[in-house]
Amino acid sequence: MDPILSARRYLIPFRGTLLPQIFTDTLVVGTGVAGLRAALAAAQHGDVILLCKRAYDESSTNWAQGGVAAVVNADDSVDAHRSDTLTAGADFCDDRAVCTLVENGPRVMGELEHWGMQFDRGKNGDVELGLEGGHSAARILHSNGDATGKELVRCLWRRVNSTPAIRVFDSCFALDLLTPAEAPGSPCMGAITHHHRYGLQMIWARATILATGGSGMLWRETTNPPVATGDGLAMAFRAGAQIADLAFMQFHPTALYVAGASRALISEAVRGEGASLIDRNGSRFMQSRHERAELAPRDVVSRGIMARLAETGETYVHLDARGIRNFAERFPGIATVLEKFELDPATDLIPVRPAAHYMIGGVRTDLDGRTNVPGLYCAGESSCSGVNGANRLASNSLLEGLVFGERAGLACVEMRDTANAWGVTAPSSPMQIVSSIPDSDRGMLDLEDVRSSLRSAMWRNAGIERTGSRLRDATEMFDFWSRYTLDKIFDDPAGWETQNLLLIGALITRSALWREESRGCHARADFPETSDAFHAHDLWRRGDSEPTLQPVDSTEPRIIAGAPN
């Protein structure tokens, strides 16, 4: 058996009844847009505990610049939004998920406005709408220029803080999901957590919703915050959940490239306002690669940039935004970042190159966030509902978190019924769950070195363009690091995060190696064409020797194993 696919069940040894016990109706792990919206919805039918891994403002949502894609203009239509989403998804989206997303867009925007979210408006009072890559119409709502995520977080947190049914546990790390048995198919009963002040705790819940975001810290070049370490995916995999489509990682074309600095995102909205990509000779190069040039889908633009870098031998290209009037007024956050590096977008070219941005694959769910593990739900970037296909359409992610976070929060009321469709009895007293992990006699690797090495390996071998030989090299490297790291017992988040990164990185390389085709944001130089043989979701589960395939279904409802009809 593949050592990764048979990974141990829990990260640490414990005896459940000897730890502090906490009970709730719904446990929500993650405080980005999906987690906050799920908590608000779940609070309508019971008590909620909301786990915040670190500070509330360290989520990817808080970093989001571009905006929220939704149809709020009479000149636009949900059919057009659906069509654009399906096109960007490279014939790999589940159409019912896409319809659910776009049809709820207008309602969700109205709800946010009612809750006090401030959208940018023009002089006539109408909401200003931006244009981004892959969209056939201007339908991007934004706040404070390029601080939409920050305003959305402010709005949702204000709502959360005024909801008595929600308790927030900050600086609380979720290590693993609790299941009565270690074999796949056992229901989820909550999570074992570590609080910086109170230590290990058992949180028992009738329903658990994962909204832990992505895994961008797996790559050396990333726009993600440091918290994006794939914890939710790793926890779900160890608990027996199916993880789907991990080969698809979206790389954002324009991250600020300054040697030694973190890769700050330069929003796609900048290109939507007229900025162009040029090489070192000042020549635009995207016009010959796609009819929409700089506003082509992100995978097209990212590969276009990398191809031009290979041709010129340069490290980065330039974003020319000198023609945008009042840049600092439209994009105040980006202007502030550029100023730190003495760059003035009115007169200077902006050095950019692609960086890992958004995880398309995740925990496989149905339209209400249900997974194949009874009692476990998932929403947002950590999920795979099929809405994104093989490549996410720009600015659909915040809408996805809002729509599917709400649906998961509402759906999990079914777990309060002792006669629920799974026959799962909610925990009302501590259960005796024991994790026994033998001491390892293998040597110890330096964690910082492992993290640095795995990120470089992922960027080099599982980046924007891949080959079978490089993916096999990466798989072998992950297996080596895992042999000396996944067998260890750590007592702090740094160690647990590294173990989660290793597990998810190893699964991503296996998925990318298996998918012998190029589709959406997964590009194989040795298999440059799209193949009907791989027109299926690849689902990976602990204990299975190979992935299970699930057809891409554009018309019929999808049923997740173990979920009610």
pLDDT 10s digits, 373-402: 999 999 999 999 999 999 999 899 999 999
| DSSP states of 29-98 | E--SHHHHHHHHHHTTSS-EEEEESS-GGGSHHHH--S-EE---STTS-HHHHHHHHHHHTTS-S-HHHH
In sequence order, what are the residues at sequence separation of 6 or more whose Cβ sits closer than 8 angstroms to the Cβ of residue 19?
192, 200, 201, 202
pLDDT score of 218 more than 60: yes
Mean pLDDT of 216-237: 94
In a domain, 543, yes or no: no
Distance set, CA 167 to CA 26, 52, 379, 444 (Å): 11, 11, 20, 39
Of 565 and 173, the one with more pLDDT? 173
pLDDT recorded at residue 76:
95
Check: CB of residue 465 under 8 Å from CB of residue 300: no
Say if CB 4 and CB 503 are below 8 A apart.
Answer: yes
Q: Residue type at 155?
A: C
Task: Look at 96-105, 145-154, 195-204, 309-318 and tell me which has the smallest mean pLDDT.
Answer: 145-154
> Residue 125 — very low, low, confident or very high, per pLDDT cuts 50/70/90?
confident
User: What is the distance between the alpha carbons of residues 233 and 48, in angstroms, rounded to a whole number?
Assistant: 21
Total domains in the fold of the chain: 1
Q: Phi and psi (nearest 5°) for 381?
A: -65, -25
Name the least confident of 120-134, 161-175, 271-285, 305-319.
Answer: 120-134
Nearest CA among 380, 454, 389 for reference residue 247: 389
Q: Of residues 427 and 321, which shows the higher confidence score?
A: 321
Q: Is 163 inside a domain boundary? A: no
Q: How many CB atoms lie within 10 A of CB 444?
A: 10
Q: How confident is the model at residue 465 (pLDDT cuts 50, 70, 90)?
A: very high
Our separate counts of H helices and E strands in the chain read 14, 21
- Stretch 7-36: mean pLDDT, rounded? 94
The reply to whether 262 falls in a domain is: yes
Confidence of residue 418 (pLDDT cuts 50, 70, 90): low
Note whether residue 301 is domain-resident.
yes
- Look at residue 326 and tell me if it is in a domain: yes
The predicted structure's pLDDT at residue 354 = 94
Average confidence (pLDDT) over 433-447: 86
Summary mean pLDDT of the chain: 91
Asked if residue 290 belongs to a domain, the reply is: yes
- Cα within 13 Å of Cα(141), Cβ side: 26
Distance CA 506, CA 450 (A): 13
In contact, 177 and 236? CB cutoff 8 Å: yes
- At which residue do the structure tokens 């996805």 appear? 400
- Is 466 catalytic? The answer is no
Residue 555 has pLDDT above 60, yes or no: no
Does residue 487 sit within a domain?
no
Host H or E run for residue 501? helix 493-514
User: What pLDDT does residue 54 have?
Assistant: 84
Any residues with CB less than 8 A from the CB of 382 and at least 6 apart, and which? 30, 34, 210, 211, 212, 213, 214, 232, 233, 236, 359, 362, 363
Q: Which helix (H) or strand (E) holds 161?
A: helix 148-161
Residue of 50, 67, 51, 40 lying closest to 143 (CA atoms): 67
**DSSP strands (E only) in 88-143:** 129-130, 140-141
What sign has the CA pseudo-torsion 194, 195, 197, 203?
A: negative
pTM assigned to the model: 0.93
Note whether residue 282 is domain-resident. Answer: yes
Residues 140-188: tens digit of each pLDDT: 999 988 789 899 999 999 999 999 999 999 999 999 999 998 877 789 9
The residue-averaged pLDDT of 536-547 equals: 94
> How far, in Å, CA of 28 to CA of 211, rounded?
7
CA dist 13 to 8, 431, 447, 503, Å?
11, 16, 20, 18
What's residue 133's pLDDT? 80
- Could you tell me the pLDDT band of residue 562, with boundaries at 50, 70 and 90? very low
Q: With cut-offs at 50, 70 and 90, classify the pLDDT of residue 248.
A: very high
Q: State how far the Cα of 537 lies from the Cα of 244, in Å rounded to an integer.
A: 6
Q: What pLDDT, on the 0 to 100 scale, is given for residue 419?
A: 56
Helix H or strand E encompassing 340:
helix 332-340
Please give the Cα distance from 370 to 408 (Å, whole number).
7
- Residue type present at position 46: G
Domain that holds residue 328: 252-357
The average pLDDT across 453-474 equals: 96
Q: Please, which residues bridge with residue 351 across strands? A: 318
Residue 295 has pLDDT above 50, yes or no: yes
Q: What is the pLDDT of residues 37-88, one digit of tens each?
A: 999 999 999 999 999 998 777 777 776 777 899 999 999 999 999 999 999 9
- Distance CA(490)–CA(136), nearest Å, equals 50
pLDDT in tens, 321-370: 999 988 998 899 899 999 999 999 999 999 999 999 999 999 999 999 99
Q: What is the distance of C-alpha 117 from the center of its chain? A: 23
Query: Taking 80 as the threshold, does the pLDDT of residue 550 lie above it?
Result: yes
Three-class DSSP category at 201: strand
pLDDT of residue 557: 45
pLDDT of residue 59: 74
Share of the chain above pLDDT 70, in %: 95
Query: Of 139, 298, 370, 470, which residue is the catalytic one?
Result: 298
**What mean pLDDT comes out for the span 223-252?**
95
User: In this structure, what CATH number is given to the domain that contains residue 344?
Assistant: 3.90.700.10
Structure confidence at residue 559 (pLDDT): 46
Do residues 387 and 101 make contact, with C-beta atoms less than 8 angstroms apart? yes
- State yes or no: pLDDT of 560 exceeds 60: no
554 vs 210, which has greater pLDDT? 210
Residue 421's pLDDT band (boundaries 50, 70, 90)? Answer: low
